[in-house]
Amino acid sequence: MVVDKVINNNLVRSHNEDGIEVLVIGCGLGFKKKSGDVIETSLIEKIYMIQDKKTSNQLIELLSSIPNEHIQTANAIVSYAKEALDCKINDSIYISLTDHLSYAIQRYEEGIHFKNALLWEIKKYYNKEYKVGLEALNIIEARLKIRLTEDEAGYIALHLVGASLKVGNVVESTDMLGMIQNILQIVKYQLNIEFDEESIHYERFLTHLKFFAQRVINNKELEDDNEALIKTIKKEYEREYKCATKIRAYIKLNYAKVLTDTELIYLTVHIKRIAMN
């Protein structure tokens, strides 16, 4: 393969022998390289097949902003998961898991810990994915010298479930789609923002809303368990919290379900992230 474009020292755009666009990552792969130069095979750590321009842009944005060691660790986890799980995993996992892992490490370094209120259900209903999540903790520790909590094993399992998720019945799928679309409109109106639908930040928010909609429809809302965190988030993210209360009112009116304070806090945190980008 040859370099089509250098993204940064560790990432280049290229094409394979079939002419399909790919992103190639490796430590120092793009250093002092220019278009037309041959890519050194020994430096290649991962080749990402590009299915469309949107995916390409999201991957470039993500891989350009996250430390290389985080990317390598996420890739190692995905490789292990593909061997351990007897199902097809969508390549979207490379975006969602890498993004989640880097954010989890950032939270670890800042001393912020989110308890996984669905951990028991994950262990029970997604046990194979949960066991992969536990092994992922070992991979992270071996590579990055930090030990994330069991709650993170649950979050990793959820990402694996999401990447292999089968579409449910038509009614459930329609309800989820309508809920997500209406929540996006509420956030846009309340915060007076426009989403960049090509960005990784939008994709991240959309992923959270998909899991949120599933929990609401399946009556699996997060249970309240951290009053101190709830009080802190209400105070620090007042504007975003008010937006989340609008979503709670919408859910109650249209689905006759009342969101817990913890569910509201998680919404607030994700709204804050999308509002910053």
Taken in order of first residue, the domains within the chain and their CATH numbers are: 5-50 (2.30.24.10), 68-163 (1.10.1790.10), 170-275 (1.10.1790.10)
Q: Is the pLDDT of residue 251 over 90?
A: yes
Tokens matching residue 173: 């799928």
Q: Is the pLDDT of residue 182 over 80?
A: yes
Kindly report the pTM of this predicted structure: 0.65
CB 11 within 8 A of CB 68: no
pLDDT of residue 115: 83
Question: How sure is the predictor about 276, in pLDDT bands with cuts at 50, 70 and 90?
Answer: confident
Question: How sure is the predictor about 153, in pLDDT bands with cuts at 50, 70 and 90?
Answer: very high
- The predicted model gives 194-204 an average pLDDT of 82
pLDDT of residue 168: 44
- The predicted model gives 164-178 an average pLDDT of 59
252: alpha, beta or left, given left = phi > 0 and alpha = psi -120 to 50? alpha
Look over the chain and give the mean of its residue pLDDT values, rounded to a whole number.
Answer: 85
Rounded to 10 degrees, what is the CA torsion of 205, 211, 216, 220?
Answer: -140
Chain Cα centroid distance, residue 3 = 29
* pLDDT tens, position by position, 202-225: 878 887 888 888 888 877 766 666
User: Do β-strands 5-8 and 21-25 pair in parallel, antiparallel, or remain unpaired?
Assistant: unpaired
Q: Is the pLDDT of residue 247 over 90?
A: yes
Report which of residues 21 and 177 the model is more confident about: 21
Q: Is the pLDDT of residue 227 over 80?
A: no
Distance CA 180, CA 183 (A): 5
Q: Which residue, among 41, 200, 98, 70, has the nearest Cα to 12 in the 3D structure?
A: 41
DSSP code, position 38: B
Q: Is the pLDDT of residue 152 over 80?
A: yes
